Amino acid sequence: FEPQVLLLDEPLSALDANMREEMRVEIKKIQKETGITAIFVTHDQEEALSMSDRIVVMNAGAVEQIGTPEQVYETPATAFVADFLGKANMLAGTVSRSGQTVVLGTGQTISVACPRP
């Protein structure tokens, strides 16, 4: 029996913290040795970031972002992704027409590097 894809739906959810860590390492090792594509479903951000080559972040059945762990963590596409992957600092504000400054709700203006409109 040699499947092309292995689907793991929350396989570590019932394990204690120490066993989870050991199993993460073991699953990753087996996956690398066999070369099988594995889809690993988890609600644990640390698990997703440490075990994945690519991550799909979903919200209510819709895809919010797809990318490498680094891309998703460092440049979240939406506020949901930023909040889901860690405690994000969210500041309400208005972006200027030029996209070079943001006026915060407090009235303070900050300069920004905006990679997209």
Q: Are residues 76 and 99 in the same domain?
A: no
Banded model confidence at residue 64, pLDDT cuts 50, 70, 90: very high
Q: Are residues 17 and 57 in the same domain?
A: yes
- Read off the tokens for 12: 């570590």
pLDDT value at position 113?
77
Which residues share a beta bridge with 103?
94, 109
- pLDDT-above-90 percentage for the chain: 39
Q: How many domains does the chain have?
A: 2
Asked if the model's pLDDT at residue 116 lies above 70, the reply is: no
pTM: predicted TM-score of the whole model, two decimal places? 0.71
Query: What are the helix (H) ranges across 1-117?
Result: 17-34, 45-51, 69-74, 79-85
Q: Are residues 57 and 102 in the same domain?
A: no
Decide if 93 contacts 105 (C-beta within 8 A). Answer: yes
Banded model confidence at residue 98, pLDDT cuts 50, 70, 90: confident
Cα(57)–Cα(65) distance, integer angstroms: 5
Q: Are residues 72 and 98 in the same domain?
A: no
Q: Are residues 64 and 109 in the same domain?
A: no
pLDDT value at position 50?
87
Chain position carrying tokens 């040795």: 33
Domain span including residue 117: 91-117
